[in-house]
């Protein structure tokens, strides 16, 4: 039976849901690591400098690593590497079921990802995961995560106030961005980061989406509990 101990911030009904992609809906960590290690080798960057940037857009990460004159070409290269490598990418537990429930109930839903358009398309196609009508990528905003802009655009494209949206995310950078956007409830999944890192940034931490128990309320959604 699911626990009924839901934090107060999540006891309301949300009008829509905004979902991160990598690390939340799909497991792409192997492909990500392979691509970035190769990129680091090609650009003479110590891979240890990538630490702490999980959930941040590639463009924002590269801006921390390379001189401005090299950044556009370097960004094009990491997109090329990542789009070409979809080996081992898989749907994470509970992701397909949650998307199916939201679609069946008509709950406005968007994927909000730090991936580019071609990368998001490649990974969603590789997994066969049913995509919602709205997908916001790093290509759609001037400032991607850790800025709030992607979450704001996701809510806008759903026709909703961010305060009426439930966010599900696996990275501290994304959670902080969602909080800054004024999103109403934040659920963290510990697929890629430790619970101790996620708890201060979210309203609830679950091991994965299979542990998150939600129910449709009209065309909205409410968190019911957490599976043990």
User: What's the distance, CA 85 to chain centroid?
Assistant: 19
What are the two backbone dihedrals, phi and then psi, of residue 130, each rounded to the nearest 5 degrees?
-65, 125
CA distance 171 to 154: 17
Degrees to nearest 5, angle at CA 32 with 53 and 124: 110
* Residues that are catalytic: 20, 22
List beta partners, residue 136: 112
Residues in the chain: 228
For helices 117-127 and 68-84, what crossing angle results, to 10°? Answer: 20
**CA distance to 26, 55, 81, 84, 153, per residue, from 77 (Å):** 22, 19, 6, 11, 26
């Amino acid at each position: 039976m699911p626990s009924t101990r839901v934090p107060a911030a999540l006891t309301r009904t949300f009008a829509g849901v905004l979902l991160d992609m990598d690390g939340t809906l799909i497991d792409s960590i192997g492909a990500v690591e392979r691509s970035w290690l190769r990129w680091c080798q090609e650009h003479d960057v110590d891979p240890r400098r990538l630490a702490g940037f999980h959930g941040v857009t590639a463009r924002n990460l590269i801006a921390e690593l390379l001189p401005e004159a090299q950044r556009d070409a370097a960004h094009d290269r990491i997109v090329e590497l990542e789009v070409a490598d979809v080996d081992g990418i898989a749907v994470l537990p509970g992701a397909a079921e949650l998307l199916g429930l939201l679609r069946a109930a008509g709950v406005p839903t968007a994927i909000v990802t730090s991936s580019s358009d071609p990368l998001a398309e490649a990974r969603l196609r590789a997994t066969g995961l049913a995509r919602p009508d709205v997908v916001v990528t790093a290509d759609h905003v001037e400032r991607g995560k850790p800025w709030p802009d992607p979450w704001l655009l996701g809510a806008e494209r759903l026709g909703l106030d961010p305060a009426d949206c439930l966010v599900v995310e696996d990275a501290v950078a994304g959670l902080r961005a969602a909080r800054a956007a004024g999103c109403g409830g934040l659920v963290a999944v510990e697929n890629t980061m430790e619970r101790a890192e996620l708890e201060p940034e979210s309203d609830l931490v679950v091991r994965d989406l299979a542990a998150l128990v939600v129910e449709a309320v009209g065309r909205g959604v409410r968190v019911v509990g957490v599976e043990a």
